[in-house]
Structure 1
Amino acid sequence: MQGKCPDHSVLQHALRAVPQVSDESTVFQARGEDGGRRRSVLALAKGQLVSLSYRARVAALLGDSPLTSEAVITEVRDLLSHGEEALAFDTMCSWIYEDALPLTRQYHARLVALATEMGTPTSVQRLDELLVD
């Protein structure tokens, strides 16, 4: 996993936060021993990892975004801190569109990729209108 995931330190932290899990190899090698307890930990850890990965990626996009309104940035961060990754992402994209902020093709591609992965394609609808060369 190391070297392939930009959020490796965030994921490592998440793994340590899950009861009975000390490192990623414990999670990914769990085979359901101990009456299924480890299987439950695996499912819980995977869910947390996906959520934390989305959280880290939305936070990175927010940091790179053209948004300048501190109120909007704070709102998106608050949503992230409450585990509302999809809503935070949608809010960020909505404000980018509402304020007609210019987007580079690279940044737009990152938004579209995350929207697709999160299953929220409507979040990025019409953002292509804001592309600059």
Structure 2
Amino acid sequence: MECLLCKQKSTTKKVRSRFVEVAKYDTDFCPIHADSAVNSLYYNIFVCPHCGFSYYEDFPRYFPPTTMEIILEKVSSHYVPHHFSKERSIKDAINTYKLASYCGALKKEKHIILAGICLRIAWLYRIKQNKEQE
């Protein structure tokens, strides 16, 4: 992948759709996977290991004026390098979504994209059986 912010290249993991078998969906469309070891929700967010910018594949490449500088100041300058390119735990997945939500808010993404990220965070907490956070 190429980071939308810093343009550096890095690798990431993504679950191939042919390996994802959804057994059923909850009433809010949360996918219940047939094999709990393969959860595609864990890998929907891309995290740049260089600058920390995190984004969903639906984020447009366009940055409104001054948002790049704001993200560099509020995220990249404080980012402690992590590599999320390996197998992710549910805790890693939640952290990537939260960071993507913050980056998306700073980037002024559409509300529907931010809402989708927040909904997926709730799903991950449901999988973790943390009703309070869900």
Give the TM-score band, short-chain normalised: 0.3 to 0.5
- TM-score for both structures, normalised by structure 1: 0.40
- TM-score for both structures, normalised by structure 2: 0.39
**Higher percent of residues as strand:** 2
**Higher percent of residues as helix:** 1
Q: Higher relative CO (CA 8 A, sep ≥ 6), structure 1 or 2?
A: 2
